[in-house]
Each structure stands twice: as structure tokens, then as C-alpha cells.
A and B are shown apart, each in its own frame.
Chain A
Amino acid sequence: MAAVTTRAERIGHPIAIVAIIVVTLIFLAPILWITSTAFKPRAVATSVPPTVIFQPEVTPFVKLFTKRVQLREQPTQEVYDAAPWWEQAIFDNGERVLRVRGNVQPSQYGNRFINSLIVAGLSTILAVGMGTFTAYGFSRFKIAGRDDLLFFILSTRMLPPIVVAIPMFLMYRTFSLTDTHIGLIILYTAFNLSFAVWLMKGFMDEIPKEYEEAALVDGYTRMQAFFKIVLPEATTGIAATAVFSFIIAWNEYAFALILTNRRAQTAPPFIPSQIGSGVVDWTAIAAGTFLFLLPVAIFTFLLRNHLLRGVTFGAIRK
């Protein structure tokens, strides 16, 4: 093979480019749609055909985060001028922000969003942390019945989770874990752990054991070798496992719906619950959904360098 590549080879075949663009558009269409709806005036949100060009508004987000009351009449100019800019945005919709003793009353969305962050974040840390240790053990030590144990760990994911929903609910009620953060964290950790163990085991197996052995010979304990050598080498795997675990915990709907209703409720069951209360305001729901998409996108973006495999490979010659 000559080392010369033609321009077409470098950029790709025109048909391939077209195909990639089409597929990308198909995949991105729902996200574009939700994002644009989150900034649309309510009047054009559900128009047919869809309005593509419009003046973006923050009204949907104000509605998302506040409790509001209907106005009986248009606000006077005085009231209008006295209101902060974000409240002015909803006067046009015939509503105003609910205040109790001068304090703006927030909606539940912020709480639910924070619940989601707490539950998904902590359960990811726990699952990946325990999974990494467990995988290291399985990868490096002779463990009686290792293959059976690994299969058992995987088998916990073979049952469709919803099958155990009712027993889970009863157990959670008995132990007063319903509608608690800790309850959901335990559940999601258990969910993700088997997956984390298997994924991390694959990554651990690829880290040559000579690395730790070199450290052991040089006077480090196995624990030190693990933290100084194995963990840095495993960052790619840890990042990948963390992203997957986070996505699963972040998006989980069924158990969040069954096991939580107020204090510890996460965003997924909350967002659709708003559809049922009074007039459906699709722009506010779109705003909620749009914000819900952001953490996973940001998390993945932050870890993107670690997700690229092979950056640190090559120092052991194969």
C-alpha cells in the first residue's frame, strides 16, 4: 500500500457523508425538537406545521421553576415595571408568580432535579467504586468458584426489573425506605453493580499484572500498588463505567415512580406528572426535559478524553 491517501479517502466517500448526515439528523431530531420547544412562545409550541423560526423566550423556564396564579385582569403598567424581568415574561400569558409574604414560591422541579443528581451521582460513585474493587479481586486473585460467582453477579440483571417491583415495594415499605434518597441509592447501586463489575473486570484484565508486581517488588503494599498504579491505569474503564452507570440511574423511571412520591422523587417521574395537572403546557415540559438532558451530556463531555481508549497503552510491548 502506498502511503499516499487521496482527498476522498481522507474525508470519506460522498455517499458515506450523506448517510452520516441523514442518520445524525434522524438521531438529533427529537433533541432539536425538545430544545426548540423549550424556548418557544406557548402559542406556537404545538402549531402544525411546526414553527421553526421564532423569537426565543425564557417564559417556559420561569413557568418550570415557579408556582403561578392566573391573573384576573392585565397588570397595570406600574405592576409591570416593578416586576423583575423574568416575571414580566409570564404576564403576557395571563399569569403571575405566586408569592407568599413577598417570597417567590418555587415549583417542585428544582427539588426533583437535585434529587436526581444526588441519587444518580451517589449510586454511580458507589457502584463504580465497589465494582472496581470487586473486579480487581476477580481479575487478580484465585477465588474459589470464580466463574460461578461472576455468573451469579451477572444473573442479577437477567430478570426484567419490573417483575420484582411489587416485592421490592413491600420490602421497602417494611424497612421504611420508600420515598427516601437512601432507598433509591441502594436500589440503583445494586442495579449498576453487576454491570460495573463485569465492565471493570474486562478493563482490569487488560492491565498487565507486571505493573503491580513491579511495585510490589519495589516495596509497596498491594493496597498502595492498587491506588498508585492500577487506578491510574484503569481511568479509561472507570470513566466508561461511570458514564453508563450514571445514564442508567439518571434515566430510571419505573422504580422511581413506584418507590418515591415527594421528598425523594427524581425528575423522570416528576416531569410527566405535570402533564396531568390542569392545562398541559408543553413549553414548560420541554424546558424541564431539556434541562434533564444536560447533566448526562455534560458528564460525558467532561470524561470524553478518558473514554478514548488507547491513550496510555503501548508502554508494555505486546
Chain B
Amino acid sequence: MSTISLQSIEKYFGENYVIRKLNLEIADREFVVLLGPSGCGKTTTLRAIAGLEAIDSGDILIDGKPVQHLRAGDRDIAFVFQLFALYPHLSAYDNIAFPLRATREGTDVVDRQVREVAKALQIEHLLKSMPSALSGGDMQRVAIGRALVRRPKALLMDEPIGALDAKLREDMRSELKRLHVENEATTVYVTHDQVEAMSLADRIAIMHDGVLQQVGTPDDVYLYPANLFVAQFVGSPVMNIADIEVRSGNGATRIEPHGSGVGFEFPAELGNMLAAAGDGGLKLGVRPEGIQVAHEQTTGFQQVEAHLIEPLGAYDIVDLKVGDQFLRARTASGFVNRPGDQVWARLDEEQTHFFDANSGDSLGIRLGG
């Protein structure tokens, strides 16, 4: 197993600038997830690593050696396609054996390795089946078997479970995790599903319009989003974002969502930090669980109206009307009785983020904690 390093990768499809100066280091045995919305260039990046797509500039290093001029077959990596791409005319066994036969291994070696990998994936009973007779989950197990059987330097997976239904996706997710733990294969995994990314990744690389936005552990990107895009792309329900005005005085800083007339209280030092950040517009970001809600008037809490209540089982999402703006808060289920109730709310300073409104970048201000 081995490391992958992408250095300043650029890729154009005609006029379309699809990958923009992308840098990414992937450590040995690491599970990195490329996460981003549809069309942001995830698949193209993965295909470039595999050698299925030529890049226009930059270097791709596997184990420190540049491979961008090598053919796909000479890079010793395996690729799992979203639509599985099992050869329909070959049985599951022959599908898995196919990569081994390229290297002209002896029949007994091939047989042993196919059975070994089939055992790990618990698909031994399916080896004789043709792909058309397999369920979606089993097809994907066979496809993963085909990728693992060769013990490649790295495993690349392009939305491997995106075509499965929700329940199966969850099962396969934990199975992929188990496989990675057992095989310790360096893995690059593409998805647009943030839950998948959070649960599988050692590190997540978030892309948008061909630009890498942030690379970090799931906690990192969730707790400290580098910019507005990451802040809103990761987490569900989505982080609240609001234009704000800052007022200082009385030993506190008041943050007022634009035009709302409601000033949330923050420690005084925040005023200096925000002032130091420049004079451009500011935006606040806070996840629904970062908004604390109380039934009675409490010091440091502001009165707001509960406008809508979405019961989601384990918790409720309550739309709070703040002036003419809305902030969504997460409360215990049934906490707010009915829409129209007056409640008191406060923003947890540890969970409140500030962004430059022009660039969208986080100001990196961390209070408390």
C-alpha cells in the first residue's frame, strides 16, 4: 500500500476548467473522501488518478513517483465504478479473476486468491452466478472483490453505493468501513453524500467548481468550516447563515442579524476580533444545535417567535423569527408547543462562526472552548 500525492492538477474539457490547481496529499492506508456537489469535478479527479483521464498540467505521484504519463494499467491501482461495470458475460468468479488473468497467474494461484477475497466479502455462494442474477448490493460486493483481489497500491471508488437504496446503502457503508480496517488499502472515495463522507473518512476533501475548499478530518470540517461553502455543504439540517451588524458597549458585543433589531450577546473581545478582521461585510454562521432555546426569559437570551416546527423524531427543528429573518434551531422534541409561541434564544459562542461576506472565507474566530 502506498501514498498518493496530487500537485497542482489542472484539467480542461474544452473551455470547461474542471480541476483548478488541485493539491492533495493522501497518506499510506488513509481513507480520503472527495466530497462535493454534482459536477464539481470529483469523478474527473479520481479518473485522473486512475489514468483514465489525461491531465493538462500538474503531477500525480504514487509512492513518490510521477505517474501522470503512465497508462492506467501500469499504475497498479483499482477502480470501483458507480454502476459496478461487472462484465455481463462473465460469472462472478470470472469477474473477480479477470484482473489476475491479466498478469498470467497460474490457475491455482488465481483460484486461491479469488476464494480468499470472496470469503472476506461473504460472497462465496455467489461465485457461480452471472451478474444479471445478482442484487445491487451483491453486484457491488463482486465489483469490490474484483478491485481488491489484485492487492493494488490504492483503491479508488466513485460513488460505489450511490445506486443502492437507502437501507442497503447503510449496510454497505459499514461493510466498506470494515473492509478498509481489514485491508488497510489506501482509498480515495468519491461521494456527494455528506453522511457517507462523515462516517467513512479519515479525512474529507471538499470540492466546489473544481477548487478544493478544505481538507480535514470529519470533525474539522464540521466544527471549523473554512468557508461559507463548506459550512453549508456539510451538516444537516444546513447551517444558518445571516448578514450581521456588530454593536459594542456595556461590556458585551451584540450581533444583530441584518435588519432584525435583535442583538444576540457575545463576549466583549469578539468586537475587537471582528474589527481586526477588516471592514467588509460580515456573515454569521451557526448550526441549529448551536442555538439554545428557553421557555422563560433568561439572562443573555433574546425574545423571538417560534414560527414553524418540524418534528423529526429524535428532535425538532424550530424556525425562529428574528426580526424579519429566520434562524433554525434544534430542540428536544416537543420542546416548543406550537407555532406562534414566544421563546428565548441565545447563540452558543463556541458554535458560532464568522465569515467575510465578500470572500466567503471563515475569519477563524473561535470563542470559548
| Chain A 232-253 per-residue mask, 1 if CB under 8 angstroms from chain B, else 0 | 1100000000000000000000
Q: Given the known inter-chain contacts A216-B72, A218-B102, A220-B73, please indicate yes or no for A315 contacting B79, CB distance below 8 A.
A: no
Q: Are A317 and B84 in contact (CB under 8 A)?
A: yes
Q: Are A210 and B85 in contact (CB under 8 A)?
A: yes
Q: Are B83 and A210 in contact (CB under 8 A)?
A: yes
* CB of A318 to closest CB in B, whole Å: 8
* CB of B12 to closest CB in A, whole Å: 13
Question: In the bound complex, how far is the Cα of B140 from the Cα of A316, in angstroms?
Answer: 10
B139 at the interface (CB under 8 A from A): yes
With beta carbons under 8 angstroms apart, the residue of A215, A216, A315 that contacts B139 is: A315
Q: Are B88 and A314 in contact (CB under 8 A)?
A: yes
Neighbouring A residues of B74 by C-beta, 8 Å: 219
Q: Are B52 and A233 in contact (CB under 8 A)?
A: no
Neighbouring B residues of A219 by C-beta, 8 Å: 73-74, 99, 102-103, 150
A70 at the interface (CB under 8 A from B): no
Neighbouring B residues of A211 by C-beta, 8 Å: 85, 87
A312 at the interface (CB under 8 A from B): yes
Neighbouring A residues of B89 by C-beta, 8 Å: 232-233, 312
Which partner residue on chain B sits nearest A215 by CB separation? Answer: B98
Name the interface residues of B65-100: CB closer than 8 Å to any CB of A: 71-75, 77-79, 81, 83-89, 98-99
Q: Given the known inter-chain contacts A314-B132, A315-B132, A315-B139, please indicate yes or no for A217 contacting B73, CB distance below 8 A.
A: yes
Q: How large is the interface on A (under 10, 10 to 19, 20 to 34, 35 or more residues)?
A: 20 to 34
| Chain B 163-175 per-residue mask, 1 if CB under 8 angstroms from chain A, else 0 | 1000000000000
A213 at the interface (CB under 8 A from B): yes
A208 at the interface (CB under 8 A from B): yes
Question: In the bound complex, how far is the Cα of B51 from the Cα of A314, in angstroms?
Answer: 27
Q: Given the known inter-chain contacts A213-B81, A217-B72, please indicate yes or no for A317 contacting B136, CB distance below 8 A.
A: yes
| Chain A 192-213 per-residue mask, 1 if CB under 8 angstroms from chain B, else 0 | 0000000000000000101101
Q: Are A213 and B79 in contact (CB under 8 A)?
A: yes
Neighbouring A residues of B103 by C-beta, 8 Å: 219
Question: In the bound complex, how far is the Cα of B146 from the Cα of A210, in angstroms?
Answer: 14
With beta carbons under 8 angstroms apart, the residue of B79, B83, B102 that contacts A317 is: B83
B50 at the interface (CB under 8 A from A): yes
With beta carbons under 8 angstroms apart, the residue of A214, A313, A314 that contacts B85 is: A214
* CB of B154 to closest CB in A, whole Å: 11
Which partner residue on chain A sits nearest B150 by CB separation? Answer: A218
Neighbouring B residues of A215 by C-beta, 8 Å: 98, 102
A118 at the interface (CB under 8 A from B): no
Neighbouring A residues of B79 by C-beta, 8 Å: 213-214, 217
B288 at the interface (CB under 8 A from A): no
Question: In the bound complex, how far is the Cα of B132 from the Cα of A219, in angstroms?
Answer: 25
A221 at the interface (CB under 8 A from B): yes
Q: Are A316 and B52 in contact (CB under 8 A)?
A: no
Question: In the bound complex, how far is the Cα of B25 from the Cα of A104, in angstroms?
Answer: 86
Could you write out 19 A-B pairs with CB less than 8 Å apart? A208-B83, A213-B85, A214-B85, A215-B98, A216-B52, A216-B71, A218-B102, A218-B150, A219-B73, A312-B88, A312-B132, A313-B88, A315-B87, A315-B88, A315-B139, A316-B88, A317-B84, A317-B163, A318-B83
Nearest 4 CB-CB pairings of A with B: A315-B131, A218-B99, A315-B88, A210-B85
| A213-B79, A217-B72, A224-B102 known, 19 other contacts, Cβ within 8 Å | A211-B85, A214-B81, A216-B51, A216-B52, A217-B51, A219-B102, A229-B87, A232-B89, A233-B89, A312-B88, A312-B89, A312-B132, A314-B88, A314-B132, A315-B84, A315-B130, A315-B132, A315-B139, A317-B163
